[in-house]
Amino acid sequence: RALRSSLLLTVKDTFTDRPLSVQALVLEIDTIDTIPPPRETDPRTGSLARLLLPGTYTLELRKEGYITRRIQFDITEDDLTRIDAYLVPENPPEPLVPYPVPSSGEVRVVLDLDEVSHVKADVYDIAGRRVRKLLDGDLGPGYAIVRWDGKDDMGEDAGSGVFFIRFRIKDRKKVAKTVRVKR
């Protein structure tokens, strides 16, 4: 019966949301002395499924070019435990700089917040008209990604051209320029 207990792990890049092939090592188990061998997540999906005995586990996720991450979780009898993990690259994108530029798809901007902060983000066109409200809420601490899909507040394509993303983070203001090109 205990072998019906399992883990489904999915690992992605924090900034691109792409699946990662990582080495998953069990470092510690509270119920048994035998540590299972390391496994690799699938490079296409970033996923790994394995049967585990019930208990509390410490798992380490390793990938060259990324900061190693440890996760502690519980496996319960006859249950599936799902973990969606994100790894941060050793050299993350520069905060408050849109990428990719130019873009024909989604534009992303990384925020690196020291504490919980109220963040507002709006997109403006070259004439200064607000195109889209992206965010008005509390985030952090840590990394957050603000995404713009190239649409206006009505859900219509904003078209090609130069756009500005204006951020207000607590008492700081920052404007970031981006360029959209139609496919």
Cα(100)–Cα(95) distance, rounded to whole angstroms? Answer: 13
* Model pLDDT for residues 64-121, shown as the tens digit of each residue: 999 999 999 999 888 899 999 999 899 888 889 998 899 999 999 999 898 999 999 9
β partners of residue 5 = none
Give Dmax over CA atoms of the chain in angstroms: 66
Domains assigned to the chain:
2-87 (2.60.40.1120), 107-180 (2.60.40.4070)
Helix (H) or strand (E) holding 87: strand 80-87
* Model pLDDT for residues 14-50, shown as the tens digit of each residue: 888 899 999 999 888 877 767 888 999 999 999 999 8
What is the structure's pLDDT at 5? Answer: 85
pTM for the full model?
0.64
* Rounded (5°) CA angle 48-31-47: 5
What is the structure's pLDDT at 35? Answer: 80
What is the structure's pLDDT at 2? Answer: 43
What DSSP designation does 78 have?
T
* Rounded (5°) CA angle 83-29-88: 40
What is the structure's pLDDT at 181? Answer: 94
Cα(36)–Cα(156) distance, rounded to whole angstroms? Answer: 51
Closest CA to 165 of 118, 91, 95: 95
What is the structure's pLDDT at 94? Answer: 85
Cα(34)–Cα(177) distance, rounded to whole angstroms? Answer: 54
* Model pLDDT for residues 124-181, shown as the tens digit of each residue: 999 999 999 999 999 988 888 899 999 999 999 999 999 999 999 988 999 999 999 9
